[in-house]
Structure 1
Amino acid sequence: MIEVSELTKRYGDKTAVDHLSFTVRPGQVTGFLGPNGAGKTTTMRMLLGLDTPTAGTSTVGGVPFRTHPRGLRHVGALLDAQQVHGGRSATAHLGALARGNRIPASRVAEVLAEVGLTEAAGRRIGGFSLGMKQRLGIAAALLGDPPVLMFDEPINGMDPEGVLWVRGLFRRLAAEGRTVFLSSHLMTEMESTADQLVVIGQGRLIAAESVREFAARSTRFSVLVATPQAGELTAVLTAAG
């Protein structure tokens, strides 16, 4: 489980995350929704201990992530698929992560097969498409078989087949009882993937509820039109039924 309490991050006079509080529970896919620049990535970086909050706290499994001695066994995360050494092969990249986290080397081939990169295992990552790098990042997140998984805009660069695959993967991981937390700026993607939503804007919490509840509350069944010729417009609309 992920718990965030009054989390705040300021850069000088700019507030990126503003007293944010929410909970992400296991057994479901929770979408982290908001426009670009809303503070989603900054929040995830603070959850992973990559950025220090100005105020507030965040815990994974009841403790700050930094206290986990072998991080990939507790949390798997994909924040930026491009941040990999282009000269390494996929196998070498995952192998280094496995050794650093005392994960059996056999897991490398297993996760590469799971994300569909077995045939590309020996190729240099610099020649990968963005979609392939996203798959490699997902493989790295799965490497330690962790109970908590976090993904930042994971469908970027994915072709339609890849999008369908990753949706099914996230749902399967949640069905196994894991905590799955993924960010997106696309409500359409959240409708197809997530069970719960955490919605933020300008670093502040807007909503924390089910996708169904959020969609129902946001649906409008009427349209308000302002015009200086209200009488004429009413007559035209009435005549048209």
Structure 2
Amino acid sequence: MKGVVDLNSDIGEGFGAYVMGLDEEVIKHVTSVNLACGWHAGDPLIMEKTVKEAVANNVAVGAHPGYPDLMGFGRRNLDVTPSEARAYMIYQLGALSAFAAAHGEKIQHVKLHGAFYNTACVKPELAEEVISGILDVDKNIILLALSGSYIAKRAKERGLRVAQEVFADRAYNSDGTLVSRKLPGAVIHDKNVAIERIKRMVLEGKVVAADGSEIEIVADSICVHGDNPEAVEFVRVIRENLISEGIEVKSLREFL
């Protein structure tokens, strides 16, 4: 039985006058946050405001680098070279690191966003350069990556600390990848079903895939979304359920 897990959420994903997500509410219930770094979402003012809120709530700060795709919110696949991927990583990580330093904080982890995240999980040449970019900036940063993915395994081999991530509200394929959002059933809307799946992932290391097969999974961190009032309540309920099962909810830096 695993006795500790991190709760993470993607925040700071507005842009200019556009607001996305209920950051001030969700930050009260999680232990780590993934901040957009200005490419798929976010801007300097949002980045600074969100870092400040995370520090005030004693929540660990992570970078959430994406593809340079504001129009598509970073969810469209871009044909980038490995060297471009490394440069994108360094650029965005550097930007958020400066805001963190300005508020007396350090970056705890990196979690890629959207299409960047999904591609680096399965494309070795891209994963290698993403890992290189992190190592070149700060060898102590944790990589937060999809449980069982290539990039998670390879980052460990290359000396990075790795946290393996599972999703509270997403369906899985039999190979451990996430079901495409374009397909029906990709997002789980029933909070009771999601909570039971999460508890089993944390306590037993297993989840039922979309085809009915049972797959093994490692849950160091649970991704939860807080982009509407119902979702924020879902985050709160997940945390309460984990604690009621005797599971400690802590930031990654406290147990990795």
Query: Normalising by the residue count of structure 1, what TM-score does the alignment of the two structures yield?
Result: 0.35
TM-score (norm 2): 0.33
Flag the structure with higher strand content: 1
Instruction: Please tell me whether Structure 1 or Structure 2 has the larger radius of gyration of its CA atoms.
Output: 1
